[in-house]
Amino acid sequence: MTDIQMPRLSDTMEEGVIANWHKQVGDKVSRGEVVAEIETDKALMELEAYDDGVLEKILVEAGTTVPIGEPIAVLGDGSGAAAEAAPAAAPAPAAAAPAEAPAATAAPAAPAAPAATEPAETPAGGPKPKASPLAKAVAKEKGVDLGTVQGSGPGGRIIRADIEAAASSSPAAPAPAESAPAPASQTAPAVAGDDVEEIPLSNIRKVTAKRLTESKQNAPHFYLTSAIDVTELMEFRGNLNERLQAAGGPKVSVNDLIVKAVATSLRANPGVNVSFAGDKMLQHKRINLGVAVAIEGGLVVPVVKDADRKSVSEIATESRELAGRAREGKLKLDEMSGGTFSISNLGMFGIEQFSAVINPPEAGILAVGAARDEVQVRDGEFVARKILRVTLSADHRAVDGAVGAAFLQQFTSLLEDPLRIIA
């Protein structure tokens, strides 16, 4: 028999959540076939089988957080599947799995133990019933006593479906009495109640919070802002799209032109395309640009590889494909890894200017706002111009102020003379 282990599906992954199982105990599995979906710190990803066989045991129910390398199922010849079929056949319904996966990340679970080692459950006076974190939360919400519920998960573990069934078959038990409120002078975190709703962190949100907190604590940020006249850039984009569409090509967005201009500026200013690594600096020879994409439950950063060597239309096509797969949770590991610099654009939300947090181990990120009509003085006359503000956040351990300023100066000159972007 072969253990199926929680794999490392991203370079920053430390644990994963079993979002749902595609196979059940007793099912035949072929090499390369999808066995389960795993929610990582970056996306919802498919777990493929490495060997042919029969799924004999499911060790971890849907919704459970598991450290990388821990066994989650057993693949064999089928001889042991019959004994495990009963407990493994009752994971949470597929429709509930996506909602269950993020909730389980609120408290990482310990590695699953073999079913035989779990203590028997008793309604009262015995060991505490085994239940998933989500099941406990739902039981508390619905007033269900865990001691009265028979678990249907592996080893008799109580899962969400058991709580839902118990709640629908009997009147809800009264909710536990609330503890006395803290004195007014005492600061305490808000707790769930009539006025507050607890929303468990998704795995993506949890890891994002951890990494960006470390970034602000460890990397001394400094910020440089430029106001760029993009009047000609807007006109250039309109003319370029007319020609591209006439030739059957893709439309180019302002962000696509920005990505290309950033790539060109990094090629001219390699001192920004670096990483700080303790007692040394890493100079990246490739220019791989991460482009932040907001998705439900967090933020992911797919990477446009070798952006300086691609045309604007190639960048446009690739960026749309990556963003689409990011929102569907179907990005591959290599599409989210290897970034050397990032871009975050909130212009589409009307944000004029902001500062972004560096995405480690990169040394810089460019925050892009919205282009606004502003009055400028040109040749002694007042004229309306489109002004775009961008802010470079840089790691001062790796990038000096003058180096960052030279990069931003180059970038500004490209946007104000847009023909040079595609030259």
Residues comprising the chain, all counted: 423
Is the Cα dihedral 151, 154, 160, 165 positive or negative?
Answer: negative
Judge contact between 256 and 315, C-beta under 8 A: yes
Q: Across the strands, what pairs with 67?
A: 15
Judge contact between 384 and 374, C-beta under 8 A: yes
C-alpha span between 85 and 220 (Å, rounded):
55
Catalytic annotation present for 396: yes
Annotated catalytic residue, options 22, 221, 284, 396: 396
> Which token pair is 291?
């482009």
C-alpha span between 4 and 66 (Å, rounded):
12
Helix axes 203-218 and 97-104, enclosed angle (nearest 10):
30
Burial 236-253 (b: 16+ CB within 10 A, else e): bbeebbeebeeeebbebb
By annotation, the residues acting in catalysis are 396
